[in-house]
Amino acid sequence: MKARGMAGHLIRRLNQISTQVFSKHMHNAGLDLTPVQFAAMDAIITHPGIDQASVAALIAYDRATIGGVIDRLEHKGYVRREVSKRDRRAREVRVTGKGAEAFEQILPIVTALQDEVLNGLDETERETFLKLAHKAVGSEDDMEPSSHVE
């Protein structure tokens, strides 16, 4: 079997396509946001006051580097961090008003670009693909409407 027919290769290519489509749409909308930053914002909005480690776990991202993602979101004014009242060692992350407004602008764009990512599939095939992808990554229960992780 050639590498081009292996699952890992196809998944890598689909990730490249997804990232390119996401970046193109963000650029066209005049927005500066990466897929990982979008996923982090989604987690923060869905779970107000979440800590950084939990953001990393929710979006399946490396705990060691999630701080940099949140740093960039904080620098853009989209989120703020504060010391937890429950655990003085932990820092809670919350979306700002600017971040909530930006997310409301971004969410319809990201929702609309999903068909472009899978443009070679018809609607039934897309549904099947998504069910199988969730099953493959073990996240069948992660199919809530606000879970638009790129």
Q: What is the pLDDT of residues 52-106, one digit of tens each?
A: 889 999 999 998 899 999 999 999 999 999 887 888 777 899 999 999 999 999 9
Q: According to the model, what pLDDT value does residue 150 have?
A: 42
Q: According to the model, what pLDDT value does residue 49 have?
A: 92
CA distances from 87 to 14, 19, 23, 81, 83 (A): 40, 36, 37, 14, 8
Q: According to the model, what pLDDT value does residue 63 have?
A: 86
Q: According to the model, what pLDDT value does residue 146 have?
A: 38
Backbone angles phi, psi at 139, to 5 degrees: -130, 40
Q: According to the model, what pLDDT value does residue 64 have?
A: 87
Q: What is the pLDDT of residues 24-53, one digit of tens each?
A: 999 999 999 999 999 999 999 999 999 988
Q: According to the model, what pLDDT value does residue 43 have?
A: 96
Closest CA to 107 of 51, 48, 25: 25
Range list of β-strands (E), 72-124: 79-83, 91-95
Biggest CA–CA distance in the chain, Å, is 56
CA distances from 100 to 12, 31, 38, 124, 149 (A): 31, 14, 12, 33, 17
pLDDT over 50 (residue 147): no
Q: pTM score, two decimals?
A: 0.83
Tokens of 70: 């949140």
Q: According to the model, what pLDDT value does residue 103 have?
A: 96
Tally of helices (H runs) and strands (E runs) in the chain: 6, 3
What domains are defined for the chain? 34-136 (1.10.10.10)
Q: State the DSSP code for 148.
A: -
Q: According to the model, what pLDDT value does residue 106 have?
A: 95
Q: According to the model, what pLDDT value does residue 18 have?
A: 95
Q: According to the model, what pLDDT value does residue 1 have?
A: 63
Q: According to the model, what pLDDT value does residue 99 have?
A: 96
